[in-house]
């Protein structure tokens, strides 16, 4: 059992504003890219978490499924690289390459986005399901 309980927002919560770098290609991804297309999936993950490692293959498959269905999907890592250097942008890019991430893997250096989403642990997805409404704010 995880030491930190989930506090993620409920399904259907408004999508917080954000602007983060995709570690796979250096492109900026914003909340605006997820808006107007119905629900969007935002997952908080990191490279070192054993729970993320356990579900990684399924998460990659789910990400592909979402993309094929036209549902925006992004993963965000908000870990402090001082305490978890393996969760920095370069290792994240290598992780995405190694495991075939087809979705953006964003780095939240200041943890501000994680706070906006009320994300407290990894893996973290909205309570009750796996999507947040992108129609409202």
Could you tell me whether strands 73-77 and 39-44 are parallel, antiparallel, or unpaired per DSSP bridges?
parallel
Do the beta carbons of residue 14 and residue 117 sit within 8 Å?
no
Q: Name the residue among 40, 124, 32 with its Cα closest to residue 76.
A: 124
Cα angle 69-88-122, degrees, rounded to a multiple of 5: 55
Indicate the domain borders of the chain: 19-133
Task: Quote the CATH superfamily of domain 19-133.
Answer: Glutaredoxin (3.40.30.10)
As a dihedral over the C-alpha atoms of residue 12, residue 16, residue 19, residue 25, rounded to 10 degrees, the angle is -20
pLDDT computed for residue 127 by the predictor: 55
The per-residue pLDDT for range 66-91, each reduced to its tens digit, is 999 999 999 999 999 999 999 999 99
- Report CA-CA distances (Å) from 71 to 44, 45, 47, 123, 130: 17, 19, 24, 19, 11
Total-model pTM: 0.86
> Residue 68 in 3-state DSSP?
helix
**Residue 131 CB: number of other CB atoms within 10 A?**
20
Average pLDDT, the chain: 86
Using a pLDDT cut of 90, give the percent of the chain over it: 64
pLDDT reading at 21 higher than 90: yes
Q: Quick one: average pLDDT of 97-124?
A: 93
- Report CA-CA distances (Å) from 15 to 30, 35, 85: 11, 8, 29
pLDDT computed for residue 55 by the predictor: 93
pLDDT computed for residue 43 by the predictor: 93
pLDDT reading at 65 higher than 60: yes
**Residue 58 CB: number of other CB atoms within 10 A?**
9
């Amino acid at each position: 059992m995880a030491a930190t309980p989930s506090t993620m927002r409920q399904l259907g919560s408004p999508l917080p504003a954000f602007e983060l770098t995709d570690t796979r290609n250096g492109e900026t991804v914003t909340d605006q890219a997820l808006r107007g297309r119905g629900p969007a999936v935002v997952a908080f993950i990191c490279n070192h978490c054993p729970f993320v490692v356990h579900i990684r293959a399924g998460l990659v498959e789910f990400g592909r499924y979402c993309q094929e269905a036209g549902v925006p999907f992004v993963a965000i890592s908000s870990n402090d690289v001082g305490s978890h250097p393996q969760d920095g942008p370069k290792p994240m890019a290598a992780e995405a390459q190694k495991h075939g991430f087809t979705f953006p893997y964003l780095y939240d250096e200041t943890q501000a986005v994680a706070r906006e989403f009320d994300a407290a642990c990894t893996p973290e997805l909205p309570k009750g399901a796996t999507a947040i409404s992108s129609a409202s704010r």
